[in-house]
């Protein structure tokens, strides 16, 4: 039998209702869907309880690693979590991505993934150790915060156990409970609450095995090349954490197999307390902390630790607090309605009281536990209108949006999932270009010539980075989406991949073929960028099929929120806007244009959609899937269930 390289060959299927454990053959899925996000899609298609809600016990919750996890591939630690999300509005299939060590440990324990179905009668954990799997009673853990849960499990199972757990936010089925793991990793989309709905408090794993790789020498070379390309010490968007006043970095907190690390660092707050901080966790409470105290204090630092412990997503909490604050200021909700001392918003005490209220689901807590968009519907009237001007139609926050980057318009319109990873693909090289142009980074080599080279190599042509036109943007968006789906299927980290630019050469354009080279070296497959794009086309079509089957209305729902079409001068507070407030971008020839105050052009947006459907082989009029496309991608199983949405 041919040696299996990259994958370990088995995906666990665990039915908690009947305490049944079996395994599926990974390669029956990998040959068409690669791993991670791709296999997650196929497992969902095969096992979803269509029409049932996210907390229905029949719904699968899928945890997938990919072929690069637990290998020497640089920055490949992610766990792709797929299922129906209670958080997205309306509920639908999405995915979350989790860093840390769990994915690598799971493979070392002999499994490429886990699919959990059903609901246990009482609280349980799943323990996996070197091929053995047990469902264990866990009544003693129910009600504990994530930090205590990890402490208890580590005391019981040893310091080297890797854990996915939920806190009270997940146990009590708030819509935005997180799954918490090592190095303070947190998976959003309410998947912690889906675990809670299954009475699954934690999954623990210990593995002492290893993953076979086809060409260790080649991987070593690629790893060396990766370090040369990325390691010149110039500005790296994700390399240097934005530190709050009074806080300091103690050390980096790398995920498994990550050579360079990122914002994920152990930080110390003003009181000496230490915890791991990443991007948003550092910033999310600062607005209210500063408003109350006149400066950023320990409250901002402690808020992230509290949110992780209670097991609630900081992104969703920010949205909720922004909405609550505006409703209170407009007199739409009083302190009595809310049941919290709103004048104290910004203090640690207020924040903890808010978390307790949400997790208990008592009083107004039952409204807040539904998240901003559903809470606004519950309150109704003007409180609902406030939301319309803040978030996307599925309730997602806005950053790196299409008013600045035309490239982002399709990314916002086509998917209900949080598209921040795809948006990073757009904003990262352009933020570096902005810092080169505005001379705020003297070391930057990201000149207009380099950015054009990147456009040509990665995004389908130089026109993709001419921001005076919509030309070339549909192709660029589809390629960005392809690359993102592949990254999440291989389980590469968004902060480290792709390698757009190369610090070690004069030309400075990175290598769009790196991912294919890595996969070939690990698995022994012979695959290049075009081959990976073929996988992406199939996975993205399956994603579309799932969304259509769950009720998406094709082109009718491929829309942007109205505020993207309105011109107004506004400060864009994301990392790009922070460094480049006039929102300067490359135009045609030597021109530089400003996108400040600009909006998306409606006609051009519709044209982008036409072009995109054409590139994907989807029906232009309806945005439905064409049968011939499904057949050519090997997805004939989608045709019959889609009914008239496959044409
Ligand atoms: S870049 Fe950061 S988030 Fe990504 S793998 Fe490395 S440490 Fe983890």
pLDDT digits (tens, 9 = 90+) for 540-568: 999 999 999 999 999 999 999 999 999 99
**Segment (H or E) for 592:** strand 592-594
Q: What is the pLDDT of residue 335?
A: 96
* Residue with CA nearest ligand 1 atom 8: 255
Which pLDDT score, from 0 to 100, does residue 443 have? 76
Tokens at 146, concatenated: 């994530």
Residue 232 has pLDDT above 60, yes or no: no
What local confidence, expressed as pLDDT, does residue 236 receive? 63
Q: Is 149 within 8 Å of 204 (Cβ atoms)?
A: no
Which domains can be identified in the chain, with CATH numbers?
10-206 (3.60.9.10), 233-245+282-388 (1.10.569.10), 406-616 (1.10.599)
Please give the biggest Cα pair distance in the chain: 71
Cα–Cα distance measured from residue 463 to residue 471, given in angstroms and rounded to the nearest whole number: 6
Residue 572: band (very low, low, confident or very high) from pLDDT cuts 50, 70, 90: confident
pLDDT reported for residue 543: 98
Query: Which tokens hold the place of 628?
Result: 């011939």
Say how far apart CA 232 and CA 503 lie, in whole Å.
Answer: 6
Q: Does an H or E element contain 436, and which?
A: helix 420-437
User: Rounded to the nearest whole angstrom, what is the distance from the C-alpha of residue 276 to the centroid of ligand 1?
Assistant: 13
Please choose, from the candidates 263, 137, 265, 242, the residue with its C-alpha nearest in 3D space to the C-alpha of residue 200.
137
pLDDT value of residue 270: 84
Q: CB burial class (10 A; 0-12, 13-18, 19+) of residue 569?
A: exposed
* Ligand 1 lined by 262 (C-beta under 6 Å): yes
CA distance 201 to 144: 10
Element (H, E) at 433: helix 420-437
Radius of gyration of the chain (CA): 23
Residue 235 pLDDT exceeds 60: no
Q: What is the model's pLDDT at position 239?
A: 64
User: How far, in Å, is the centroid of ligand 1 from the Cα of 309?
Assistant: 21
CA of 598 to the centre of ligand 1 (A): 34
Interior/surface letters 86-117, b for 16+ CB within 10 angstroms, e for the rest: bbbbbbbbbbbbbbbbbbbbbbbbbbbbbbbb
Q: What number of H helices and E strands is found in the chain?
A: 26, 17
Joined tokens for residue 400: 């790196």
Torsions phi, psi for 38 (to 5 deg): -65, -50
Ligand 1 within 6 A of 609 CB? Answer: no
Ligand 1 binding pocket includes 258 (Cβ within 6 Å):
yes
The average pLDDT across 127-149 equals 98
Q: Decide: 184 in ligand 1 pocket, CB within 6 A.
A: no
Which atom of ligand 1 has the smallest separation from the CA of 75?
Answer: 5
pLDDT band at 574 (very low <50, low <70, confident <90, very high): confident
Q: Taking the chain, what is the end-to-end CA distance rounded to the nearest angstrom?
A: 42
Tell me: the pLDDT tens digits for 259-306? 888 888 999 988 899 999 887 777 899 999 999 999 999 999 999 999
pLDDT of residue 237: 63
For ligand 1, what atom is nearest to the CA of residue 76?
A: 5
Other beta carbons within 10 Å of 162: 24
Distance CA 245, CA 293 (A): 13
- Return d(Cα 534, Cα 518) in angstroms, integer: 17
Q: What is the pLDDT of residues 91-125, one digit of tens each?
A: 999 999 999 999 999 999 999 999 999 999 999 99
User: Mean pLDDT across the stretch 560-583?
Assistant: 90
- The dihedral sign for the CA sequence 630, 632, 637, 639: positive
Cα of 526 from ligand 1 centre, angstroms = 27
Nearest atom within ligand 1 for CA of residue 496: 1
Ligand 1 centroid, distance to 238 Cα (angstroms): 9
pLDDT mean over 428-445 = 87
Task: Supply the DSSP symbol for 447.
Answer: -
Q: Is 255 in the pocket of ligand 1 (CB under 6 A)?
A: yes
pTM assigned to the model: 0.97
| CA of 256 relative to ligand 1 center, distance in Å | 8
Size (the chain), residues: 647
The alpha carbon of 255 and the centre of ligand 1 are apart by a number of angstroms equal to 5
- The rounded Å distance from CA 237 to ligand 1 centre is 13
Average pLDDT over residues 120-138: 98
Name the band, by pLDDT with cuts 50, 70 and 90, for residue 1. low
- For ligand 1, is residue 98 a contact (CB within 6 Å)? no
pLDDT confidence tier of residue 396, bands split at 50, 70 and 90: confident
Confirm if 42 and 33 have CB atoms less than 8 A apart.
Answer: yes
Cβ(396)–Cβ(422) below 8 Å: no
pLDDT for 110 equals: 98
- pLDDT score at 299: 94
CB atoms inside a 10 Å sphere around CB 596:
17
Point out the least confidently predicted range of 205-209, 323-327, 391-395, 633-637.
391-395
- pLDDT for the residue numbered 571: 81
Q: d(Cα 646, Cα 626) in Å, to the nearest integer?
A: 5
Question: Of 25-34, 241-250, 510-519, which range is least confident?
Answer: 241-250
The average confidence (pLDDT) of the chain is 94
Residues 74 and 223: their CA atoms lie apart, in Å, by 6
């Amino acid at each position: 039998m041919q040696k299996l390289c990259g994958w370990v060959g088995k995906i666990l299927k665990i039915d908690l209702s009947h305490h049944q454990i079996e395994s599926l053959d990974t390669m029956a899925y990998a040959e068409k869907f690669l791993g991670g996000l791709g296999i997650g899609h196929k497992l969902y298609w095969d096992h979803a309880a269509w029409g049932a809600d996210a907390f229905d016990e029949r719904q699968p919750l899928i945890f997938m690693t990919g072929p690069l996890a637990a290998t020497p591939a640089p920055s490949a630690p992610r766990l792709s979590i797929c299922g129906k999300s209670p958080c997205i509005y309306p509920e639908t299939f999405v995915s979350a991505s989790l860093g840390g060590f769990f994915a690598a440990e799971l493979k070392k324990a002999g499994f490429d993934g886990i699919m959990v179905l059903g609901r246990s009668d009482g609280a349980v954990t799943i323990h996996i150790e070197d091929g053995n799997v047990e469902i264990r009673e866990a009544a003693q853990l129910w009600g504990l915060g994530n930090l205590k849960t990890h402490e208890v499990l580590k005391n019981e199972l040893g310091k080297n156990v890797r854990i996915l757990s939920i806190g009270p936010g997940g146990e009590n089925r708030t819509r935005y409970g997180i799954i918490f793991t090592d190095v303070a990793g947190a998976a959003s989309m309410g998947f912690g609450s889906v675990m809670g709905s299954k009475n699954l408090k934690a999954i623990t794993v210990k593995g002492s095995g290893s993953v076979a790789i086809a060409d260790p020498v080649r991987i070593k070379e690629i790893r060396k090349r990766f370090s040369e390309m990325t390691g010149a010490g110039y500005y790296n968007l994700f390399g240097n954490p934005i530190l709050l006043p009074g806080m300091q970095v103690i050390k980096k907190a790398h995920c498994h197999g990550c050579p360079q690390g990122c914002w994920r660092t152990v930080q110390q707050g003003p009181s000496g307390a230490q915890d791991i901080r990443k991007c948003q966790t550092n910033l999310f409470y600062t607005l209210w902390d500063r408003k109350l105290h006149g400066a950023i204090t320990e409250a901002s630092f402690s808020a992230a630790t509290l949110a992780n412990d209670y097991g609630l997503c900081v992104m969703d909490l920010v949205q909720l607090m922004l909405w609550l604050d505006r409703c209170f200021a407009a007199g739409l909700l009083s302190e009595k309605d809310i049941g919290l001392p709103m004048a104290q918003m910004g203090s640690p005490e207020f924040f903890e009281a808010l978390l307790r209220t949400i997790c208990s689901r008592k009083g107004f807590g039952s409204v807040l536990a539904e998240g901003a968009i559903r809470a606004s519907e519950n309150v109704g009237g003007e409180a609902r209108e406030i939301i319309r001007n803040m978030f996307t139609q599925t309730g997602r926050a806005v950053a790196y949006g299409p008013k600045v980057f035309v490239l982002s318009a399709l990314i916002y319109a086509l998917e209900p999932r949080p598209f921040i990873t795809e948006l990073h693909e757009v904003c990262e090289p352009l933020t570096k270009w902005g810092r080169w142009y505005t001379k705020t980074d003297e070391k930057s080599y990201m000149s207009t010539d380099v950015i054009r080279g990147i456009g040509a190599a990665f995004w389908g042509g130089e026109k993709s980075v001419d921001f005076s036109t919509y030309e070339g943007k549909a192709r660029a968006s589809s390629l960005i989406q392809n690359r993102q789906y592949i990254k999440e299927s291989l389980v590469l980290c968004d902060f480290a991949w792709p390698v757009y630019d190369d610090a070690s050469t004069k030309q400075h354009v990175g290598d769009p073929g790196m991912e294919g080279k890595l996969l070939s070296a690990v698995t022994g497959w012979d695959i290049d960028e075009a081959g990976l794009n073929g996988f992406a086309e199939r996975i993205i079509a399956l994603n579309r099929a799932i969304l259509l089957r769950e009720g998406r209305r094709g082109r009718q729902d491929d829309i942007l929120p109205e505020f993207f079409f309105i011109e107004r001068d506004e400060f864009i507070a994301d990392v790009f806007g922070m460094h480049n407030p006039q929102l300067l971008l490359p135009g045609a020839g030597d021109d530089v244009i400003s996108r400040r105050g600009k909006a998306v052009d409606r006609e051009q947006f519709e044209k982008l959609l036409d072009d995109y459907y054409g590139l994907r082989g989807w029906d232009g009029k309806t945005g439905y899937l064409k049968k011939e496309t499904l057949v050519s991608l090997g997805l004939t199983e989608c045709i019959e269930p889609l009914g008239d949405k496959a044409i």
